[in-house]
Amino acid sequence: MRRWWQKRTLRFQLATWYALGGALLLSAFSATLYFYVAERLAQPLDQQLRRDLEHVRANLSVSPDQILLWNEQPLDSIDRQTSDIPWFEVWDTSGRLLGRWWQLDEARLERVPSAPAPSRETFSIFNVGPDLRIRSLSVPLPLRDGQTGMLRVMRNHVASAGALQALVLIIVIALPIVIALLVLGGYIMTRRWLRPLDNMVDEARRITAEDLSRRLPVANPNDELGQLATVFNVTLDRLQNSFVALDRFVADASHELRTPLTTLRSVGEVALRRSRTVEEYRDIIGSMLEESERLQALIDRLLELASAGTRTLDLQLVALDELAAACVNELAVLAEARGQTLTLAPAGCQLRTDPILLRQALHNLIDNAIKYAPPHSPIRVALTAAPDHCTIDVIDQGPGIPPEHRTRITERFYRIDRGRSRSEGGFGLGLSLANAYMRALGGSLEWAPAEPRGSIFRLRLPR
Amino acid sequence: MPDASGEDSPITNFLAALLNAHATPTPRILVVEDEKKTRASITEGFQLEGWNVLGASSGAEAVDLLEREAFDLVVLDWLLPDRDGLDVLRHFRQRGHQTPVLMLTARSTVPDRVTGLESGADDYLTKPFAFAELLARSRALLRRPVMSSGNFLRCGDLHLDTRARIAVRGGQEIALTPREVDILEYLLRYQGQIVTREMLERDVWKQSHRFTSLDNVIDVQIMRLRRKVDRDGSEKLIHTLRGVGYRLGREAE
């Protein structure tokens, strides 16, 4: 059963719940309505019965020999057909009928009322014959010698009974129809509301890894389904971006890997075309080894980049000044070789981070600056400490980054000037590595133009 | 090993003779590696050192050879076609053999390293490696003098006092930065042997990870050191081997 239910569509399930809920609520409503109406219909009759009771009490008396007197006049002497005395009965303590006054022909009745149970004040209904119902009010009646009998006033109940029957009929016939309409309406409405979902399902089926450009239709961006579709589309955007980046990465990586491999092969092949001196062979083998070193370095970087996000961090309290100074000292020789001055402006900032990753990130930035800034230009490494974060800026007077390249500088293998940087031994991975490290550390890598020219690469670390 | 040129003092000769007498005359080495070319080149490289080398291409063959013959060093590949190199190593150690084992592997993560060393390997080298480094580590495991020891190092007319950190060439003191002294000391201790950039990076720069290459820093440092040590007119001592590394020695081989 459970399995069967779970196989049904959402539409079917919702319509069924509508039907069940509707039937339950309507049944409860009908029952309440019936009892309420019955009560209200009986109220005028009951008030009449009370007036009758007052009337009877005012005029009725019982003689010592238990003869009923109406205005001191024996009841039997009054003409039943013309008098306006209300219907009533008087019973004595032992449940014996002392007298009954009504205009009904007792011979035609199926049964007559029996003695009321002794009690304070009781309304009751009983059938005395076909289509003839009596509503009565019984009260205690003091008799002589301190005994208490019962007085019961009565009225015909016919009219209200008919109205109630009609109500029951209406309920019995209308209830199933209303419930059926409810189910149908519920089904149609659900279908209507869920149609955007069907469209989304159809559209989502067409979205594959090959065709990520499709997006889900957003009928109404404000309702829940619209929000779902919007969120889904944002996810698809990200997915598409990463697929595009992956495609480009694969293309770039295969190109970058092929370059040293091609050199390796051609150098080897050409070397074998004729015999050479030992010195020439040494030179050729050395050149091939250089290319294989380059290949290995590239593979190391790629593996590093692929695992940067999954590395477990070794968090320690790090004095950024010391870390930056170590980095600057290490790379100072490179700057010196190009006639550049590499200076450090400390700021006294300490925070918990992974010193190895941070140092790698900074190393890559400074290395980059040395590579791309012109010879004999200054490169500054400046630290700042804010209450919630610390920054390390690497400021050069290089060519800067043209606006169209700014969003792509952290992409793998991305180089503004492809030919130039390769000749300088770069892979175009430095900034993407720095970026990957900073993300692993919960920080960020930002770029800003420097005045009057050049770049500011900023490592921002949360405190 | 220190070269045995005529300029060596009698004391050095005596010490070298003493060391040689103490060590096994020709060490026997087993190279377990399934890749034929790699095995052949390691074998040849070791033979050039005058060592006696046997090759095995599978775990079963290695276990068989280790049962029957005695070796001074085993170079063991982790990934073998029939049997895990680690398995061979455990089996070998369980039988009580103490022979040093150097593991070769393409895996480089720290847990792999730990697993390798815990199973009884004495050293660990990640592929691809420089043969110079394999040689240096093999020498260390064979307890052959890998490097010169002592506070006074010398090569030709170049002297280095490692305590005072003073370098003298041809009677003239050379002004060196602390880093340059470190590099020179390392090259002098390994004199005659090839020193790769990886070795310098690990032992002089103390960086065990290979995230970001220091290759260009090392190249520039060596260039500066060479400019100070090998002045015009003096004999060239620091040699560059393209694509391999550096060697400090008296004659270019």
Helix (H, G, I), strand (E, B) or coil at B191: coil
Q: Which of B220, B241, B243 sits opposite A292 (nearest CB)?
A: B243
The whole-angstrom separation of Cα B160 and Cα A225 is 79
Beta bridge partners, B153, equal: B160
Cβ neighbour number for residue A287 with a 10 Å cutoff: 16
Higher pLDDT, A53 or B110: A53
CB B169 within 8 A of CB B236: no
Q: What is the largest CA-CA distance in chain A?
A: 162
CA terminus-to-terminus distance, chain A: 57
Has this prediction a pTM greater than 0.90? no
Question: Which residues, at least 6 apart from A417, have a Cβ–Cβ distance to it below 8 Å?
Answer: none
Structure tokens, A420: 């130039």
Beta bridge partners, A141, equal: A149
Q: Let me know if B139 is exposed, middle or buried by CB neighbors in 10 A (0-12, 13-18, 19+).
A: buried
pLDDT digits (tens), chain A, 463 positions: 677 877 888 788 887 888 888 889 988 998 998 888 888 887 888 888 889 888 888 888 888 777 888 888 887 778 777 778 888 888 888 888 888 888 777 777 777 777 787 778 888 877 777 777 788 888 888 877 777 888 888 888 765 557 778 888 888 888 888 888 888 888 888 888 888 888 888 888 888 766 778 888 887 888 888 888 888 888 888 888 778 777 777 777 787 788 788 888 888 888 888 899 999 998 899 889 888 888 888 888 777 777 766 667 888 999 999 999 999 998 998 999 899 999 999 998 899 999 888 988 999 899 989 988 899 999 999 999 998 999 999 999 988 888 777 777 777 666 666 555 555 556 778 888 888 888 888 899 988 888 888 889 999 999 8
Contact B212 A330 (CB under 8 A): no
Is the pLDDT at B146 greater than 80, yes or no? no
Residues B222 and B159 reside in one and the same domain: yes
CB B182 within 8 A of CB B204: yes
The whole-angstrom separation of Cα B249 and Cα B253 is 9
Range of the domain at B45: 24-141
Q: What is the pLDDT of residue A340?
A: 93
Contacts of A433 in chain B (CB under 8 A): 211-212
| Distant-in-sequence contacts of A416-424, Cβ < 8 A, 24+ apart | A421/A371, A421/A372, A422/A259, A424/A371
Residue type, A22: G
Beta bridge partners, A155, equal: A135
Is the pLDDT at B47 greater than 50, yes or no? yes
What CATH number does residue B191 fall under? Answer: 1.10.10.10
Q: Which residue of B has its CA nearest to A424?
A: B216
Q: What is the DSSP letter of A84?
A: -
Contact B212 A291 (CB under 8 A): no
Consecutive H or E run containing A76:
none
Q: Which residue of B has its CA nearest to A278?
A: B253
Residue of B211, B225, B242, B247 to mutate when probing chain A, most A C-beta within 10 A: B211
Closest CA to A308 of A436, A137, A116: A436
Q: Which residue of B has its CA nearest to A359?
A: B212
Q: Percent of chain B at pLDDT above 70?
A: 84
Q: What is the DSSP letter of A31?
A: H
Q: Which of A287, A297, A333 sits opposite B217 (nearest CB)?
A: A333
- Alpha carbon of residue B59 to chain centroid: 26
Number of independent structural domains in chain B: 2
For residue B39, give Cα distances in angstroms to A368, A436, B63, B67, B79.
40, 38, 17, 21, 13
Contacts of B220 in chain A (CB under 8 A): 333-334, 337
Beta strands in chain B (DSSP E): 28-32, 52-56, 73-77, 101-105, 123-126, 152-155, 158-161, 166-169, 172-174, 194-195, 238-241, 245-248
Residues B131 and B201 reside in one and the same domain: no
Is B2 within a domain? no
Q: Which of A292, A356, A425 sits opposite B216 (nearest CB)?
A: A425
| Chain A positions touching chain B (beta carbons under 8 Å) | 282-283, 285-293, 296-297, 300-301, 304, 330-331, 333-334, 337, 356, 360, 363-364, 367, 425, 433
The whole-angstrom separation of Cα A78 and Cα A306 is 117
For residue A166, give Cα distances in angstroms to A98, A169, A222, A300.
39, 5, 48, 91
CB A93 within 8 A of CB A143: yes
Residues B32 and B119 reside in one and the same domain: yes
Contacts of B213 in chain A (CB under 8 A): 297, 300-301
The whole-angstrom separation of Cα A115 and Cα A108 is 20
Contacts of A287 in chain B (CB under 8 A): 242-243
Is the pLDDT at B209 greater than 80, yes or no? no
Helix (H, G, I), strand (E, B) or coil at A129: strand
Contact B210 A300 (CB under 8 A): yes
Closest CA to A200 of A216, A214, A211: A216
Is B198 within a domain? yes
Residues B126 and B195 reside in one and the same domain: no
Q: Which residue of A has its CA nearest to B212?
A: A360
Higher pLDDT, A113 or B110: A113
For A327, list phi and psi in degrees, rounded to 5: -65, -45
Contact B212 A360 (CB under 8 A): yes
Residues B167 and B115 reside in one and the same domain: no
B1 vs A: CB within 8 A = no
Residues B131 and B31 reside in one and the same domain: yes
Contact A360 B217 (CB under 8 A): no
Is the pLDDT at B29 greater than 90, yes or no? yes
CB A457 within 8 A of CB A430: no
How far A303 CA lies from chain B's nearest CA (Å)? Answer: 9
Helix (H, G, I), strand (E, B) or coil at B123: strand
The whole-angstrom separation of Cα B248 and Cα B187 is 6
Residue of A333, A356, A421, A438 to mutate when probing chain B, most B C-beta within 10 A: A333
What CATH number does residue B74 fall under? Answer: 3.40.50.2300
The whole-angstrom separation of Cα A100 and Cα A90 is 7
What are the structural domains of chain A?
2-166 (3.30.450), 224-305 (1.10.287.130), 314-462 (3.30.565.10)
Q: What is the pLDDT of residue A1?
A: 67
Contacts of A330 in chain B (CB under 8 A): 205, 214, 217
Closest CA to B182 of B221, B216, B208, B148: B221
Q: What is the pLDDT of residue B3?
A: 44
Q: What is the pLDDT of residue B2?
A: 44
Residues B165 and B227 reside in one and the same domain: yes
CB A144 within 8 A of CB A69: no
Contact A296 B212 (CB under 8 A): no
Residue of B37, B176, B206, B212 to mutate when probing chain A, most A C-beta within 10 A: B212
Structure tokens, A441: 């550390």
Which is it for strands B158-161 and B166-169: parallel, antiparallel or unpaired? antiparallel
End-of-domain residue from the set B112, B141, B170: B141
Q: Which residue of A has its CA nearest to B242?
A: A286
Residues B107 and B167 reside in one and the same domain: no
Consecutive H or E run containing A75:
none
Residues B114 and B169 reside in one and the same domain: no
Closest CA to B197 of B171, B219, B169, B225: B219
For residue B224, give Cα distances in angstroms to A368, B186, B195, B221, B227.
21, 16, 17, 5, 5
Q: What is the pLDDT of residue A8?
A: 81
CA angle B21, B24, B25 (to 5 degrees): 75
Q: Which of B211, B213, B217 sits opposite A334 (nearest CB)?
A: B217
What's the mean pLDDT when you consider all of chain B? 84
Contact B242 A300 (CB under 8 A): no
Is B68 within a domain? yes
What are the pLDDT digits (tens) for B218-240?
999 999 999 999 987 788 999 99
CA terminus-to-terminus distance, chain B: 15
- List the 201-230 stretch of B: residues with Cβ below 8 A of A: 205, 209-217, 220-221, 223-224
Is B114 within a domain? yes
- List the 104-133 stretch of B: residues with Cβ below 8 A of A: 128
Residues B83 and B105 reside in one and the same domain: yes
CB B102 within 8 A of CB B140: no
End-of-domain residue from the set B141, B174, B208: B141
Contact B220 A363 (CB under 8 A): no
Q: What is the DSSP letter of B160?
A: E
How far A285 CA lies from chain B's nearest CA (Å)? Answer: 8
CB A182 within 8 A of CB A29: no
Higher pLDDT, B246 or B198: B246
Residues B102 and B179 reside in one and the same domain: no
Q: What is the pLDDT of residue B55?
A: 93
End-of-domain residue from the set B109, B141, B173: B141
For B123, list phi and psi in degrees, rounded to 5: -155, 175
CB A189 within 8 A of CB A44: no
Contacts of A292 in chain B (CB under 8 A): 128, 243
Residues B51 and B70 reside in one and the same domain: yes
Counting one residue from A and one from B, how many pairs have CB atoms under 8 Å apart?
51
Is B6 within a domain? no
For B70, list phi and psi in degrees, rounded to 5: -105, 140
Contact B217 A287 (CB under 8 A): no
